[in-house]
Amino acid sequence: MKKLNKDLQDGMKDVFGDMDTDAQEFKALVNTIKQKGILQPLLIEKHDGAHKLLAGERRLRAAEAAGLTRVPVRIRDGVSSPADRIEIQLIENLSRKSLDPIDEAKAYVQFYGAKTNRKQPLKGLLQDFMSSTWHDGSSSKLDTETISVIETISGKTMRSVANLLSLLTLPEGLQQAIKSGKVAASHGYIMAANLDHKEFSKIMGRLINGDAKLTRDNLREAFSKATQEKKGGRPAIPFWKYATDHFASMGKRILKEEKKLKPDDIKKIEDAVKELQGVLERVKAKKG
């Protein structure tokens, strides 16, 4: 057991920035700790004679709120770098069952900044992720390695992580709706792709107000219809045409980059193709 002293508290660093101690999830954790105590020890390390927290900030803050003066800890040997510490915190926090898409996206941004030792504007960070996804050679070695670590820890493809990051480009009100579960993250991805659309604010209002008609397909259609009307009724490009043109273009790009592709690169492309094939099979099954 470790006493809740200033050294331990000074070591706290939340991957997600400011913690909402008024949230129902946090209050529920406080009540659980009051009744059963802390079931999983906090992870700390000894550095310059002081103990620094590596993982378990939510449990530590909840223990304080519950009135505890001592908490169970596990001491890690050695001294971690700031990037190592935040990697440990990222792993722990991504394992939370109640983690919402907005907090998850913020965790990736925080980790990326700590690992590369720089604050990257969100737009630039998105470009780095997509560059790494397509292996176009524009990302630095450090950027590529950091993004690879995120891919490994999260178990997600870079496109999936980039989709999550795009949610942070949305207006605060819509982010909060996604955070609370009122609006699905999948709807948020579509909104993020249409930020500059003339009808964005109007459609966002419908979404936040719980318009049940706005399924993902209807949401895409709403933006497509508004674009078509703006163009004087000219028909929009059919999605199948857009998709097939895109895949043909990517096929040519792969052949062009053939000599640069490593076995691991090819494996990632194969995984993406299999994922797409699985989606098409599900669509075909629904169409009967």
For residue 238, with 0-12 CB atoms within 10 Å meaning exposed, 13-18 middle and 19 or more buried, which class applies? Answer: exposed
Q: Report if pTM > 0.75.
A: no
Q: What confidence tier does 214 reach under pLDDT thresholds 50, 70, 90? A: confident
Q: Are residues 217 and 118 in the same domain?
A: yes
Q: Are residues 109 and 196 in the same domain?
A: yes
Tokens of 96: 């939370």
Q: Are residues 161 and 272 in the same domain?
A: no
Q: Give percent of the chain with pLDDT exceeding 70.
A: 72
Mean pLDDT score of the chain: 76
Q: Is residue 242 part of a domain?
A: no
First-to-last CA distance in the chain? 61
Residues 6+ apart with CB under 8 A from 115: 83, 86, 87, 142, 146, 149
CB 84, CB 115: distance < 8 Å: no
Task: Give the residue-averaged pLDDT of 131-141.
Answer: 53
Q: Is residue 239 part of a domain?
A: no
* Boundary (domain end) residue, out of 230, 262, 279: 230
Q: Are residues 107 and 225 in the same domain?
A: yes
Q: Are residues 31 and 151 in the same domain?
A: no
Q: Are residues 117 and 225 in the same domain?
A: yes
Q: What confidence tier does 275 reach under pLDDT thresholds 50, 70, 90? A: confident
Overall number of domains in the chain: 3
Task: Give the residue-averaged pLDDT of 275-279.
Answer: 81
Closest CA to 219 of 178, 191, 177, 245: 191
Distances (CA, A) of 114 to 110, 132, 209, 229: 6, 18, 37, 46
Single-letter amino acid code for the residue at 241:
K
Q: Which of 58-67, 119-128, 173-182, 250-259 has the highest mean pLDDT?
A: 173-182
Single-letter amino acid code for the residue at 130:
M
Query: Is the pLDDT at 175 greater than 60, yes or no?
Result: yes
**What is the secondary structure of 115-130 as a DSSP string?**
HHTS---HHHHHHHHH
CB 161, CB 104: distance < 8 Å: no
Q: Are residues 224 and 111 in the same domain?
A: yes
Separation CA 184–CA 164 (nearest Å): 12
Q: Are residues 175 and 219 in the same domain?
A: yes
What's the CATH code of the domain at 40? 3.90.1530.30
- pLDDT tens digits, 101-132: 998 888 888 787 777 766 666 666 666 666 55
Closest CA to 117 of 146, 154, 138, 80: 146
Closest CA to 165 of 130, 135, 136: 130
Q: Please state which of the ranges 52-61, 90-99, 217-226 shows the lowest mean pLDDT.
A: 90-99
Q: Are residues 211 and 259 in the same domain?
A: no
| Torsion angle of C-alpha atoms 24, 91, 66, 12, degrees rounded to 10 | -120
Whole domain around residue 20: which residue ranges? 2-81
Q: Are residues 224 and 272 in the same domain?
A: no
Q: Are residues 173 and 206 in the same domain?
A: yes
Q: Is residue 236 part of a domain?
A: no
Q: Are residues 111 and 221 in the same domain?
A: yes
What pLDDT, on a 0 to 100 scale, did the predictor assign at position 130?
60
Q: Is residue 94 part of a domain?
A: no
